[in-house]
Chains A and B, each alone.
Chain A
Amino acid sequence: MSMNVIELKNVGIKFKIARSKASRFKDIAYRIFKGNKSSVEQIHTFKEFWAISNISFTLKKGEALGIIGRNGAGKSTLLRVIAGIYSPDEGECKVQGNIGLLQLGVGFHHELSGRDNIYISAAILGLKKGEIDRIYDDIVEFSELGDFIDMPIKVYSSGMVARLGFSISMHLKPDILLVDEVLAVGDEDFKRKSRQKIGEFREMGKTIIMVSHNIRELKTLCERTIFLENGRIGFDGSTADAEKLYMERIAEKKQRRKALREIRKMENSL
């Protein structure tokens, strides 16, 4: 019986959106001027916004979970909670094992060379210099950067940055791999190599969570998928069923847009 490596219970993340400072300042000045001091405090209140709420699920060791949803559904926020970057405002999130979060080009210092960035990224993940030395060559080889490795990141193409990031995360051998939309860039050859590498990870019994817009990609890797809708779990089950639902929603949206267009057309012709 394998144990749960990830356990989320009613997790919610709240963002406070401040009103623009200039308008707040104007409001305060205006109300003081009118002698209405009692309402000055209210101006300072923030608008609250729950990026995700009521998220509960568990993941066993060795499972691969896909997360799908439209832009702004809270996919990246959810990954960040699991990675420990955001701590939940509500509920709790328990994670066992070290985590690798794969994001595009994030966390690199653009003035420094690829080599320096490998060392910094690995140190952030808790590796000692000797350990980094050992995996350094593999990282460079997999990333196919060649001589570019000693040039500053700012001269890299976006595909090269993605390759370096992917390569670093994969060679740090995390217990849990979080993949955030990274397979969307890079040439076909690298994509294939990356997919293969993630597949190898699966076979090694590591836990994977993968965020994507591309449900076909999830299908090849994950048997289970969570469909996020407006920050809540809309569906949690087999990837095939998630695909159906997702496609339905997209079709609905298309239809709605089409209907709207037609109404506009009619309005214009009137």
Chain B
Amino acid sequence: MLKEILKIFHYKELVKTLVLRQIKVKYKKFLLGYLWTIIEPLTTMFVLMFVIGMILKARTENFSVYLLSGLIPWIFFNSSLSNSTMSLIGNASLIKKIYFPREILTLTTVLFHYINFLLSLLLFIPFILILKIEITYTILFLPVPMIILFLFSYGLALIFSCINVYYRDTDNVVKYMLRILFFLTPIFYSVEGRIPHELYTVYLTLNPLAVIIMLFRSALMGSALPDTQYIFITSLVSIALFFIGYWIFKRNENEVVKRI
């Protein structure tokens, strides 16, 4: 299986072209072009600052950066999943034209949003400078949640894009689940002190995204790391999801091509 996964490197030229195509299609007709990758997290941040910070008065220290460090990974997860679900059906004409490993279509959708995600990370720089947040050695751990987040999202994207060919309702279900998950993930609240102690273990074990966001926060803001056991579980779940997603995808590939 590993050999098959690595086969994708023969197709790196194609992956590059397809990602560039998505960027072109997406931004060609947009007046503000790339600014949109920044506008989305910023506007959501301001809305949440207003609702959570001012109306509910539940703000924490450096609330803007706190929100951003949850929102930016969330927006990547949200948009890559909701868009990659349609990645196979949306490219039916390509699939019927020529053979290539079809997971490339899902991969390029996730990669496209990952590039947006990397660009929006730059948004932290002005905030860190203005709010004079101290950068500590913890920033060196930033690649860890970034890798885990990618594997987690790609694994799920593979599964959903595949199921969506059989049942088109998948797209709706995914979008609905994402809306629920937004509230179940510590984007505008913190886990410590907010999640009841009895639920703590269940919450962090069942929601890898919570741990991933906590890791982001400790890397960027120097807040406390989640317990090692949760980091371990989350990494394991993400890697397993990636392999399971790949396995499911490959097993269904032939049938998917015929049904499209």
Contacts and interface: CB of A to CB of B under 8 A. Distances in A.
Interface in A75-104: 80, 83-87, 89, 101, 103
Interface stretch (A54-62, A112-120, A250-258, A262-270): A112-120
Is the contact region of chain A dominated by helix, strand, or loop, or is it mixed?
A: loop
Instruction: Specify which of B29, B98, B258 lies most central, judged by the most chain A CB atoms within 10 Å of its CB.
Output: B98
A124 interface: yes
B99 A85 contact: yes
A89 B11 CA distance: 26
A228 B93 CA distance: 25
A80 B95 CA distance: 11
A15 B258 contact: yes
A120 B97 contact: no
Contact of A86 (B21, B100, B258): B258
Is the contact region of chain B dominated by helix, strand, or loop, or is it mixed?
A: helix
Given A86-B254, A86-B257, A107-B93, A120 B99 contact: no
B98 A120 contact: no
A112 B14 contact: no
Given A85-B257, A120-B17, A107 B97 contact: yes
Contacts of B16: 123
Given A86-B254, A120-B18, A128-B13, A111 B25 contact: yes
A85 B95 contact: yes
A3 interface: no
A109 to B, nearest CB: 7
A121 to B, nearest CB: 8
Contacts of B25: 109, 111-112
Given A86-B254, A111-B25, A80 B96 contact: yes
Nearest to A123: B17
Nearest to A80: B96
Contacts of A127: 13
Contacts of A126: 11, 13-14
B144 to A, nearest CB: 33
B24 interface: yes
Given A87-B254, A123-B14, A124-B14, A116 B21 contact: yes
A109 B20 CA distance: 13
B93 A124 contact: no
Interface of B: 11, 13-14, 16-18, 21, 24-25, 28-29, 93-100, 167, 254-255, 257-258
| Closest A-B pairs by Cβ, 6 of them | A107-B97, A84-B99, A123-B17, A106-B97, A106-B93, A107-B94
16 contacts: A16-B258, A85-B99, A86-B258, A106-B93, A107-B94, A109-B21, A112-B24, A112-B25, A116-B24, A123-B16, A123-B17, A124-B14, A124-B94, A124-B98, A124-B100, A128-B13
Given A13-B258, A120-B21, A126-B14, 6 more contacts: A80-B96, A103-B96, A111-B25, A124-B14, A124-B98, A127-B13
